[in-house]
Amino acid sequence: MAEETLEESIFKTLSHQKRRDILRVIGKRKEASFSEIKTQADLPDTPSLSYHLNTLDNLVEQKDGKYRLSDLGRDVFNLICKT
């Protein structure tokens, strides 16, 4: 079985609306706490947000209890904003 490319991984990740919402929340705020993301992205529960953040692992970084976009995450956020 062929390994998934970075391009395929990113488009698969972005196929879910809630993950795009999470990227928008973090991108607009520059950094956000777990609870801020949960509230602003209108996620129903903590496990759902945890799952989506884990899926966004190459686009989002966590430091000091805050989530920020990685360099690649910023590029993806800018693409989302243009579409």
Q: What's the pLDDT tens digit per position in 12-31?
A: 999 999 999 999 999 999 99
Contact between residue 58 and residue 47 where contact means Cβ atoms under 8 Å apart? no
| Over residues 44-51, mean pLDDT | 93
| Over residues 49-56, mean pLDDT | 96
**Residue 44: pLDDT over 90:** no
Using CA atoms, how far apart are residues 81 and 83, in angstroms rounded to an integer?
Answer: 6
Q: Which pTM was predicted?
A: 0.91
Contact between residue 27 and residue 81 where contact means Cβ atoms under 8 Å apart? yes
**Residue 55: pLDDT over 80:** yes
| Over residues 31-41, mean pLDDT | 96
CATH of 6-82 among 1.10.10.10, 1.10.3720.10, 3.10.20.30, 3.40.50.10950? 1.10.10.10
- Residue spans per domain, the chain: 6-82
**Residue 1: pLDDT over 70:** no
